[in-house]
């Protein structure tokens, strides 16, 4: 069994919530609390959420994690 890790990021809009919800619907699980930071270059808040997923395959760096 291999545990995959992804860090989802996006501006603080509903698009971020949809990105996290889509990952959960694909079997990923939340890992830790979300993070928020001000992006001074673009004048927006940015969000980040780590997610994990267990798969029955060995890890390969060429994997497209979003497709797992």
pLDDT of residue 20: 97
Torsion of CA 38, 41, 47, 48, to 10 degrees: -110
What CATH number did the domain enclosing 18 receive? 3.30.70
CA 6 to chain centre: 5
Helix ranges (H only) for 1-51 are 14-25
Q: What's the number of domains the chain is made of?
A: 1
Give the pLDDT confidence of 1-60 residue by residue, as tens digits: 999 999 999 999 999 999 999 999 999 999 999 999 999 999 999 999 999 999 999 999
Identify the CA nearest to 67 among candidates 6, 1, 2. Answer: 6
Residues spanned by the domain of 29: 2-56
Grouping H, G, I as helix, E, B as strand and the rest as coil, residue 41 is coil
How many C-beta atoms lie closer than 10 Å to residue 49's C-beta? 22
Question: So what's the pLDDT on residue 65?
Answer: 85
pTM: 0.88
């Amino acid at each position: 069994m291999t545990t995959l890790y992804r860090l989802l990021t996006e501006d603080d809009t509903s698009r971020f919530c949809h990105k996290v919800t889509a990952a959960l619907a694909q079997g990923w699980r939340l890992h830790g609390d979300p993070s928020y930071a001000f992006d001074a270059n673009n004048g927006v808040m940015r969000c980040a959420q780590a997610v994990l997923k267990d798969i029955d395959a060995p890890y390969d760096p060429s994997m497209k994690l979003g497709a797992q």
